[in-house]
Amino acid sequence: MRILIIEDEARIAARIERFVREILGNELTSLTSCDAVASGIEHIRTHGIDLLFLDLNLNGQDGFEVLKNVIAESFHTIIISAYTDKAITAFEYGVLDFIAKPFASERVGQALDRVRLKSTSMQHPLKFLAVKTRGIVRLIQVDDVLFVQGSGVYSELHLHNGTTALHDKSLEKLEQLLPTSFERIHKSYLADSRYFAALQIQSGGRYALQLTSGHQLPIGRTRYEQIKRRFK
């Protein structure tokens, strides 16, 4: 298990690290500590993690900024904070557990048991995609996305309300992160199979997929048989 601790108090970070090493033993593959929002985000994007222990007050910065900026990454989060009034907000971000300071080894163990259970059952659905516009991070619910169109190293999200948003990850990366209902129908398109409406055979041996919204999307020739099975 790859774990990152983001905590600005060295004493508390060392305490978390000690408990984690004692509890996980050989299950632990890497354990890193950061003391700031920026360094934590950089580590997650560069190395990837399975579990994040996150403080909410990082030298005056809001720990939630970490989750806003890496919400498209796939990992579990355990908040460790004295600000218990922020627990509801934390769970809205989809965190797995909230540990109030001060804390004991047993409480950390309970949280890690929840991580093990979630990992074993493979229950880790992505709920939000983070979109940055002019320095502002906006969270878009995955359920609001109808289909995704590749645009070079970026992807264009097409939403049910008719609007679009540019995401800073490639179509290939989003294909790995989005729920299994999103299916690759073409080299440039991912679409939510829950909204497939009809198949069309066009002139020149081309194929198209009609969505319940009325959108018509091209189907790659190598994808046609796979998509066709959805309609049997």
177 pLDDT tier (thresholds 50, 70, 90): confident
| φ/ψ of residue 155, rounded to 5 | -140, 145
Residue-level pLDDT at 186: 96
User: CA 179, CA 140: separation in Å to the nearest integer?
Assistant: 14
Q: Nearest 5 degrees, angle CA 101-CA 107-CA 112?
A: 120
User: What value does the mean pLDDT take over residues 126-135?
Assistant: 78
Residue-level pLDDT at 122: 47
Whether cis (ω within 30° of 0) applies to the bond prior to 125 is: no
Superfamily of domain 2-121 in CATH is Response regulator (3.40.50.2300)
User: What value does the mean pLDDT take over residues 199-225?
Assistant: 92
Higher pLDDT, 116 or 192: 192
pLDDT > 70 fraction of the chain, expressed in percent and rounded:
96
User: What value does the mean pLDDT take over residues 183-190?
Assistant: 96
Residue-level pLDDT at 111: 95
Quote the pTM value. Answer: 0.56
- CATH node for 140-231: 2.40.50.1020
Mark out the alpha helices in the chain (DSSP H runs): 10-24, 37-47, 64-69, 87-92, 105-121, 171-177, 224-228
Residue-level pLDDT at 32: 96
Measuring CA to CA, which residue among 163, 161, 204, 169 is closest to residue 190?
A: 169
The residue ranges of every structural domain in the chain are 2-121, 140-231
Q: Residue 46, exposed/middle/buried by CB under 10 A (0-12, 13-18, 19+)? A: exposed
Higher pLDDT, 125 or 57: 57
For 207-219, how does the pLDDT look when each residue is reduced to its tens digit (9 = 90+)?
Answer: 999 999 999 999 9
Whether 76 has a pLDDT exceeding 50, the answer reads yes
For 144-158, how does the pLDDT look when each residue is reduced to its tens digit (9 = 90+)?
Answer: 999 999 988 889 999
